[in-house]
Amino acid sequence: MYLKIKAEYKCAIRRAAVEYENSHLDESAEYFSHGDMNNFWRTWNAKYNKRTSVHEICIDGNTAADKIADSFRQYYANIYVNSAEDKRKVEEFNKHRLYYVGDS
């Protein structure tokens, strides 16, 4: 019985969220269709311009900017390949580029 009530509750929350979203879309569309750009942009910005606080950002469990930057550095250091060091591939690229005539 508990699971059924919990599922109904979650479904009601989802329905309420969708209805709320649709009401704002309808409101914005109404303003736009009547050429009321001030109110259109007011409702648009209220809906879509959610500012994210710097303190809310969390990457790999880190919230400090220097730790986040280090996570990015480590990630890209592990996947980066310097293709200019592969002489055969550079020569192959240059040959293809020399004879390239565009897409037909």
- Whole-number average pLDDT of the chain: 80
Q: Where are the domains of the chain?
A: 1-50, 52-104
Query: What are 26-71's pLDDT values in tens digits?
Result: 788 888 888 999 988 888 888 777 665 655 777 878 888 888 888 8
Task: State percent of the chain over pLDDT 70.
Answer: 86
Report the pLDDT value the prediction gives residue 78, as an integer from 0 to 100.
83
Report the pLDDT value the prediction gives residue 38, as an integer from 0 to 100.
92
* DSSP notation for the chain: -HHHHHHHHHHHHHHHHHHHHHHHHHHHHHHHHTT-HHHHHHHHHHHH--PPPGGG--BTTB-SHHHHHHHHHHHHHHH---GGG-HHHHHHHHHHHHT-----
pTM of the model: 0.33
